[in-house]
Every structure is written in C-alpha cells, then in structure tokens.
Structure 1
Amino acid sequence: MKLSDKAYEKFKHHLMMGDLKPGQFISQRELATMTGVPLAPVREALLRLELEGVVQIAPQRGIQIVEVSLRFIRDTYQLRMMIEKEAAAKFAGNASEAMISQLREVHRSVIARVDEVGPSDNLLKDAQGIDDSLHDTIVSSLGNELVDWLYAMNNQRIQLIRLAHGHLTLITPGTFRQVMTEHMAIIEALESHDPDAAASAIEKHLTAALHRALGL
C-alpha cells in the first residue's frame, strides 16, 4: 500500500472512531503523528480528502474537518435520494426472488429478536448494519462504477452527520420500529416488482431519515 493510501485510510479510521470531530482544526504535523506517515504522503492524502469534501485546507489555519451544517445535511440527503430512487426502481425490476427473500428474512429476524429481548445495544447495532446493507445492496445492483464511487463519497458525508448527530441519525430504541416499518414497505414494493412503488417507498424512507437528521 502506498504511504498516501495508508495516510488516507488511517485518517478515515480516526474520523470514524471519533478521534477527529466535524469542524475541528488540525495541523499536517499532527496528522502525520496520528497516522504514523511522513508529511509528504499526508499532504497527498489531504488533497484526496479535500476533493471528496471531507476536509477543507485553510491557509494559515491548517486543516479543518468539514462542519456539518443544515445545508451539508440537506445536500447529502438530496444526492442520496437521487441515487437511491433510481436504484430502487431498477432493483425492483431486476432483483431475484431469493435476494428479496433474504432481505425480508434478515429484517424479520432482527424485529423478532427485539420483540423477544428488547432493543439492546448489540441488537440496535445489528439493525444499523441491516439498514446500511439494504441501501448498499440496492445501489450496487445498478452495476455502475461511477455511481458506486459517488455513493461511497456521499456515505462519508453520512458518517460525518452520524458523528455530529448520532442520536438523531442512528437507529435507537425510539426509532427502531419506524425505521423497520419503512424498510419493510420498501421490501414489499420490491416483492411486487413495481419500480414506481419501490422508488416511492425509498423516497418516503429517506425523507423521514432527513427529518430525523434535522431533528424535525
């Protein structure tokens, strides 16, 4: 692995672990120490991260982790909506019965487990993974490398939103039922192989997710 790639991956790891916060300023030397990579490859990694919209390089001030503003949240979810509505419509027409059945089963399983023992931290973590996996599966079904790249970049913005507003954007005991209900509506539309219904169901889900992120 190139040193610049190592610096890039280490930076993202520290960001996702919460060691770096949205809006925080940090110097190149501090990043070099944090990532264990020399300054030159750190600078290369920062250019990549700036292009992806994760950091802003401010002369005389250092590197700033992008701030999560209302516009940042709205822009992120708008792009997500554009990608996922198209993907859901295509997926409804192309997905196999076995794939859709598997999606339904993992949702039924986590709902049943929560019904049995309550929304423990581990079960909520599992539910979050199921949530993310559903969206990833739908988008990846397009088989479009450019969309995959753009979606991955936007997912980094989603992660920043979660870091800043995790209590609003992650699945919690209070939102578990609503999120699972929204997901089951998407799966039912997929089972009917109705592109319009699938696009509508995912639009409703993402609109609700945006409202949760905004605290509405």
Structure 2
Amino acid sequence: MSTTGESSLRQLAYSRIEELLNWGRLKPGQVISQRALVETTGLTLSAIREAIPRLEAEGLLQTLPQRGLMVPSLDVTFVREAYQMRRIIELSAIPDMIQRLDRAVIANWLDWHIQARERLGGDDITDLPAFLRELQVYDWQMHADMVDAMENSLIANVYRVTAIKIRMTAQTRVRVTRDNAKRVISEHLAFLTPLMEGATEAAAASLSRHIDQSLTIALGGTVAI
C-alpha cells in the first residue's frame, strides 16, 4: 500500500474513534481492546494501531499494558478548565469572525436556526431524535467554523481536542431534549444576530452567556430555558 493510502486509513481510523468518543459510544473509564476497535470501526488492525499514538498524544486514549486501551476519566476540575479554554478561544475569535467571515456564512447560520426553531415549535417533527442529532452536529460544526475564522491551525486543533473531551464528559450528564434544543437555538440566535451586525461587544456578551449555560449543564446543573 502507498504512503498516501496508509495515511488515509490512519486518518479514517482516527476519525471513526473520534466519532465514538463524541457520541458516547466510548465512555470515560471504559477499557477496550484494539481488536474490539477493529470490529467497531470496520477498519484493519494496522490502521487502528497507526491512529493510537495520535489519540494518546491528545489525551483521548491511554494504553494499559496487558489490558488494552482506556478512555481517560475526566473530573470536574477538567470540565471547568476545558470550558475556560473554550471561552478564551471562542471569544478571541469574534473579531476575526466579524472581519473575515463572509456575511453570507453568518446569514446561513441564522436562517438555519430560525428554521430549526420553527420546526421545533411545530408538531410536524416525525423523528425528534434525528432532529436533535442534526442540531447537535450543526452546533459542533458551527462552533468549529467560528474558531477556524482565526486562521490559526494550532488554536483550531487545541479547540477541537478540548471540544471532544467536553463531549466525553457531557455524555454522562446531559440528556438532549426538546427543551434543551430550544435553549441552544435561542442562545445561538442571541449571539449570531449581533455577530451579523458587526456588534462585537454584544456578540461577546451573548456568546459568553451561552458558554456559561453549557458549563452549568456539563457540571450536572440546571438552567432556565
């Protein structure tokens, strides 16, 4: 196999394990063998083994001699520190978003959320779990795109790994519901609207509140909806 082919398989293995972590199919404290990852991802053992060093370096997996791989347990202190990191990065990205992002991109984000709010407010959602998953994926990608506006690959990678770890901890504490979805949509619209208008301070204040609310929920608390 060519070097390019090996690199592609390694990246695919990494991406599939990342997805397992994102969606809670691999949970903090869980021990899993490389063979089990082969069965779960549908990829080769060599591809899994190639991806593991990167996952270990990023703190997403730990090797346990004679036992396999363990998903690290992340405590309350980590959650607080991770959200502090998230706050620093996302708020720092606001000026770059205003300066560099095409207004059409922000307009599309706004339109999507307005339509999602209408869908959620009606009685015509035939598959609510699918809608909630769609919202979650859109949420993750939008926030990543916001950070990408900084055009700094080092910051983007730190943010991506931190976001994965936040999701790993949140899966055990957060149950995505219709009411939670309404709250997220409302909070997103609250910072996207001033972002569209180029109002830096208003966008920062609303984004900060959104992050605070998310932290409270990640710690097992409740917030007003």
Same fold? TM cut 0.5:
yes
Could you tell me which of 112, 136, 145 is aligned with 1:137?
A: 145
Q: Does 1:173 align with 2:178?
A: yes
Kindly provide the CA deviation profile for residues 58-89 of structure 1, in whole angstroms up to 9, marking residues without a partner as x. 34554210113212322222211111001123
| SS of structure 2 residue aligned to 1:175 | helix
Q: Does 1:37 align with 2:63?
A: no
Q: How far 1:150 moved relative to its partner? A: 1.7
Q: Does 1:11 align with 2:17?
A: yes
Q: Does 1:215 align with 2:203?
A: no
In 2, Cα distance between the equivalents of 1:152 and 1:143? 14
Q: How far 1:157 moved relative to its partner? A: 1.3
| SS of structure 2 residue aligned to 1:63 | strand
Code of the aligned partner of 2:87: M
Could you tell me which of 154, 161, 167 is aligned with 1:159?
A: 167
| Matched residues, number | 212
Q: What is the TM-score when the length of structure 1 is the normalising length?
A: 0.82
Could you tell me whether the CA contact under 8 Å between 1:90 and 1:195 is conserved in 2?
no
In 2, Cα distance between the equivalents of 1:212 and 1:99? 29
Q: How far 1:141 moved relative to its partner? A: 1.4
Please provide the CA RMSD for this pair.
Answer: 2.6
In 2, Cα distance between the equivalents of 1:192 and 1:44? 46
Q: Does 1:189 align with 2:216?
A: no
- Any gaps of 5 or more consecutive residues in structure 1? none
Q: Does 1:198 align with 2:203?
A: yes
Q: What is the TM-score when the length of structure 2 is the normalising length?
A: 0.79
- Any gaps of 5 or more consecutive residues in structure 2? none
In 1, Cα distance between the equivalents of 2:201 and 2:214? 20
Q: How far 1:131 moved relative to its partner? A: 2.2
Identity %: 30
